[in-house]
Structure 1
C-alpha cells in the first residue's frame, strides 16, 4: 500500500494541482446542470476559496468531493435567492395610503419647516444634533469625533432641541 505524502490541501502545490485537475470539470458540471445564468465560473471560484479556507480539514483524496458539494450548494442557494427575488418582483406595492390628503400636505409642510429650522442652527449644534438623532451615535462617540467633551455635546444637542422647538413653533 503506497504511503500518502500529503495529508491536507494546505500546501500551495497540492492545492494548485487539485485546482488544475478539478476546476474545468466542476465548471462543466455546473454549466450543464444549472446553466449560464447563475454564473458557474463564480461558483467554481467560491468553492475553491472555501476549500482553501478549510484546507486543514480536507485531504487531497476528498478535495474533489468537497469542491463539488460546496459548488452545488452555492448554486442551490442562488436558485433559492432568485425565487425570492422573483416573488418580490411579482408582488405589487401599495399605491394608496390610509392618510388623508390634508395630513400628507401638513406632513410635507412640517418637513420643510424642520429642514429650514435645521439650516438655521449653528454648525456645532447641527452637527452634534444630527450625529445623535439621525446616525444614532452616543454622546461619548460624538465627543470623540468632534474632539470636545461629552458635556459640550450634551449642551449642543440640548440647545439645538430648544432652538428647533422655538423655530417650528414660530413657523406655525
Structure 2
C-alpha cells in the first residue's frame, strides 16, 4: 500500500530540494522509518504519515548542514585531526559491518544488487533499472525491501 506513494513523494521532494537523488535518499529513509513503525502500531493515514516523516527528515538534514556550516574551521581542525576511535568503537563498527554483510547475503541477488548499486555506487534508480534489465519500480521496491530487511536483522542480532 505504501509503495503506491513512492514516486509521488520523490517528485514532491525533488521539486522542493532541487535534487532527485537527494529526494530518493530521503524517501528511502522515510519508508524504512514508516515500515519499522507499522509493525508496532497501525497508522491511520499512511500517506500523510509518510509525507510528514519525509519532511521531518529533510528538516533534520537541513539543520545538521546549517550547524556544520557555522562551526568555526579551527574547532573542526583541532577536534577531528586528533580524534582516534577507541578500540571498542572499532570493534562495534566491525561487528555492525559483519551483521550488514550477513543480512545482505540473505537477500535475493536482484534485491541485494539494487541496494548496493544505489548505496555504494550512487547510481540512480533509472541507471540501476537499465543495468539490471528491470523496471524502475522493481528497483525502488528492491531497495526499500533491502533496507527494511537489513534493519530488522541487525536489530534482531543486536538483541540476541
TM-score interval, smaller chain: 0.3 to 0.5
Q: TM-score, normalised by structure 2?
A: 0.46
CA radius of gyration, larger in: 1
Q: Higher helix proportion, which one?
A: 2
Q: TM-score, normalised by structure 1?
A: 0.43
Bigger relative contact order (CA 8 A; separation at least 6): 2
